Amino acid sequence: MKVTTIKECLDEKDSQGGEIVAAKVNGRPVDLNTPLTKDSKIEGISIHSPEGLEILRHSTSHLMAQAVKELYPEVRITIGPSIAEGFYYDFDYSRPFTPEDLAKIEEKMRALAKEDIPIIRREMSKGDAIKLFDKMGETYKTEIIRELPEEAVSLYQQGNFTDLCRGPHLPSTAGVRSFKLLSTAGAYWRGDEKNKMLQRIYGTAFPTEAELDNYLNKLEEIKKRDHRKLGRELDLFSIQDEIGAGLILWHPKGALIRKSIEDFWREEHLRHDYDLLYTPHVARLDLWKTSGHTEFYQANMYSPIEVEGQDFQLKPMNCPFHIMIYKTKIHSYRDLPIRWAELGTVYRYERSGVLHGLLRVRGFTQDDAHIFCRPDQLEKEITSILDFTVDILKTFGFDRYDIYLSTRPEKFVGSMENWEKATTALCKALEMKGLAYQIDPGEGVFYGPKIDIKIKDVLDRAWQCTTIQVDFNLPERFSLSYVGEDGVPHQPIMIHRALMGSLERFFGILVEHYAGAFPLWLSPVQVRVLPITEKQNEYAGEVKTLLSREGIRVKVDSRSEKIGYKIREAQMEKVPYMFVVGGREAESRSVSVRMRKDGDIGTMPLASAIEKVKKEILIYQSTK
């Protein structure tokens, strides 16, 4: 047999029965039916590898475009990449696609896949490609081609559908297997709101039906855990029209959880040599002029409030207040570092379309802190913050992260030397802690480099919470100084940092992370005492008093309902411990313990039950 393509070459070496979807030649991904050239190092790309999955999804996206073009010939195609959890394709069409359209498109896709249409790559000059797409009326494609730097472009053809694409792709439409179209959305051409709104269709694809089902189940699970749904069901918080969009009302149970978080946060900060501050919610506009917010942050600020001829500004950040406290006296180099923390509530204007439950709001409380230090202290401070962050996050059950280091952007303040030093300090701190990170080149804030930490929840979703930012700008603007060993003033470096980010968002993430079943130390009601009949109400009251005395949050359900009903309700409210007390328990001063997760664990003396609960509450502190 004469070997002429990559596919045949790979087939000869070892066959994985259709599991190979593309190949790498000298490390470059190519189609399987690429003609073979000599001296090439060839590797197969399995459909089960991340690269293979991406190719599968990309080809599925093309198959969708082909189906759409066949069903709605007047549609113009734009772009259709694979994304983290699937793919999308943006179409220019006179109307949005309906769920019925999606069903039809899906059906068409299955038919086209069954036809086993070969997917063929062609290369041609830009000029020829433009002519070709021009003839088809695909103006978006010609626009893309004109902007490509290469001389030649590659096209992929399947049946009478041709798309501009770098590839690689599956060898045939038959390779597209388990997929589902999920939703439609408006999306601007090239993400720019000045451009035309296109019709986007999202979908996902997997190598096997089982993996697709698994993913669809995960979507269901995400829906069940939605903090907006659980927030209402568990009576944690609300957002109301009469109050305003993006403004949160914390109900008693939510407030109690927040209090536990705040108490923990304050204790930990004091333990880590931070001091606590409180600052006002508004300040004279001039302060924000000095800080530069009126210049750089205007788009996110509310309009000033005029009082007695003076303008006041609702605060979008806490930093200027902390700085003004720093400026109330002269500091020696011996005073540094100064670490000041505040649970500071700020208000930022967010466009109405982006608001989302607790995760994106207009008024929120940052777990903010500002550290004023000498340049030689920077690295050590960053290291301690990283340690502190990991500890705090671990307490809430987060121990997997994605860490990003953002470096100097094009527009920046401060000297190149300082940037260099600060960036090196951030890198070194991360490396010393053995934390893996990615570099986001040019993504730093104009005033300094930063580290962002995204936590991963139980469903593997990443959430940006922690941010650690070095700032050269504000110390300059506010002329901050400390007196050095040499007796002359020097400029301190400022670090802004938030570990949880905002209490609102963090709480929303926690609700989803725990699916509303908060660990004991955070549960608003830790124990609910359930008397079997009204005859045990008195004993239940005694049990309650004893638990309260130990600092345990406890309620009694003394309603005239059957025990099954009371249990069902406590279970749905996700109360961690139920103490069932009937005649037998009252007689022997014991309780029948039922746990949220494990159910009935039997009767035990009251004192042992209290000890058990106390011990479990303390567990979170020993994780440090």
Where in the sequence numbering do the catalytic residues fall?
319, 348, 366, 368, 370, 450, 496
Nearest distance from residue 9's CB to RNA, in Å?
39
- Rounded to an integer, what distance in angstroms lies between the CA atom of residue 494 and that of residue 538? 58
**Is residue 605 within the footprint of RNA (CB under 7 A)?**
no
Near RNA in 350-409, by CB under 7 A = 350-357, 360-362, 364, 366
Q: What is the DSSP letter of 181?
A: E
Nearest distance from residue 585's CB to RNA, in Å?
5
H or E, element range at 607: helix 606-622
Q: What type of residue is 36?
A: L
What is the Cα 233 distance to its own chain's centre? 23
Task: Note whether 292 and 316 are within 8 A (CB).
Answer: no
Nearest distance from residue 465's CB to RNA, in Å?
5
**By C-beta, is 327 or 535 nearer to RNA?**
535
Nearest distance from residue 50's CB to RNA, in Å?
21
**Is residue 193 within the footprint of RNA (CB under 7 A)?**
yes
**By C-beta, is 320 or 582 nearer to RNA?**
582
Site string for RNA, 561-580 (x = CB under 7 A): xxxxx-xx--xx-----x-x
**Is residue 606 within the footprint of RNA (CB under 7 A)?**
no
Nearest distance from residue 502's CB to RNA, in Å?
4
Candidates 594, 609, 610, 613: give the one binding RNA (CB under 7 A): 594
Q: Which two tokens stand for residue 425?
A: 């300090």
Nearest distance from residue 517's CB to RNA, in Å?
10
**By C-beta, is 295 or 417 nearer to RNA?**
295
**Span from 14-22, 126-134, 239-247, 262-270 in contact with RNA (CB under 7 A):** 239-247
Candidates 188, 296, 302, 404: give the one binding RNA (CB under 7 A): 188
SS3 522: coil
Per-residue buried b or exposed e for 305-324, using 16+ beta carbons within 10 Å of the residue's own CB: eeeeeeebbbbbbbbbbbbe
Q: Which two tokens stand for residue 562?
A: 């059957």
Angle at the Cα of 216 (from 110 to 219), degrees rounded to 5?
Answer: 140
**By C-beta, is 43 or 350 nearer to RNA?**
350
**Is residue 465 within the footprint of RNA (CB under 7 A)?**
yes
**By C-beta, is 261 or 498 nearer to RNA?**
498
Q: Which two tokens stand for residue 619?
A: 């567990």
**Is residue 28 within the footprint of RNA (CB under 7 A)?**
no
3-state helix, strand, coil in the chain (%, to 5): 40, 30, 30
**Is residue 504 within the footprint of RNA (CB under 7 A)?**
yes
Q: Which two tokens stand for residue 339?
A: 């670490």
**By C-beta, is 188 or 333 nearer to RNA?**
188
- Rounded to an integer, what distance in angstroms lies between the CA atom of residue 521 and that of residue 613? 10
**Is residue 100 within the footprint of RNA (CB under 7 A)?**
no
**By C-beta, is 119 or 405 nearer to RNA?**
405
**By C-beta, is 362 or 370 nearer to RNA?**
362
Q: Which two tokens stand for residue 85?
A: 């959890």
Where would I find the beta strands (DSSP E) of 279-337?
A: 282-284, 305-307, 310-314
Long-range contacts of the stretch 263-266 (C-beta < 8 A, 24+)? 264/395, 265/343, 265/367, 265/392, 265/500, 266/343
Candidates 449, 501, 516, 576: give the one binding RNA (CB under 7 A): 501
Nearest distance from residue 501's CB to RNA, in Å?
3
**Span from 130-138, 140-148, 322-330, 556-564 in contact with RNA (CB under 7 A):** 556-564
- Rounded to an integer, what distance in angstroms lies between the CA atom of residue 317 and that of residue 315? 5
**Is residue 84 within the footprint of RNA (CB under 7 A)?**
no
- In the Cβ-directed half-sphere of 64, how many Cα atoms lie within 13 Å? 34
Q: Which two tokens stand for residue 232?
A: 């209402």
Instruction: Characterise 557 by phi-psi region: left (phi > 0), alpha (psi -120 to 50), beta (else).
Output: beta
**By C-beta, is 248 or 522 nearer to RNA?**
248
Near RNA in 508-537, by CB under 7 A = 532-535
Long-range contacts of the stretch 330-334 (C-beta < 8 A, 24+)? 330/482, 330/483, 331/372, 331/481, 331/482, 331/483, 331/492, 332/482, 332/483, 333/374, 333/482, 333/483, 333/484, 333/485, 333/490
Nearest distance from residue 74's CB to RNA, in Å?
17
Near RNA in 301-360, by CB under 7 A = 348, 350-357, 360
**Span from 36-44, 68-76, 394-402, 496-504 in contact with RNA (CB under 7 A):** 496-504
**Is residue 599 within the footprint of RNA (CB under 7 A)?**
yes
**Is residue 246 within the footprint of RNA (CB under 7 A)?**
yes
Task: Note whether 225 and 516 are within 8 A (CB).
Answer: yes
**By C-beta, is 6 or 358 nearer to RNA?**
358
H or E, element range at 221: helix 209-225
Nearest distance from residue 190's CB to RNA, in Å?
8
Helix count (H) and strand count (E) of the chain?
19, 31
- In the Cβ-directed half-sphere of 6, how many Cα atoms lie within 13 Å? 25
Cis amide prior to 99 (ω within 30 degrees):
no
Candidates 4, 15, 125, 183: give the one binding RNA (CB under 7 A): 183
Q: Which two tokens stand for residue 238?
A: 């609300």
Nearest distance from residue 199's CB to RNA, in Å?
7
| Helical H segments across 272-315, by residue range | 285-291, 293-296
Write out the residues near RNA by the rule CB under 7 A.
96, 183-188, 191-193, 197, 200, 228, 232, 239, 241, 244-246, 348, 350-357, 360-362, 364, 366, 464-465, 467, 498, 501-502, 504-505, 532-535, 560-565, 567-568, 571-572, 578, 580, 582-585, 592, 594, 599-600, 603
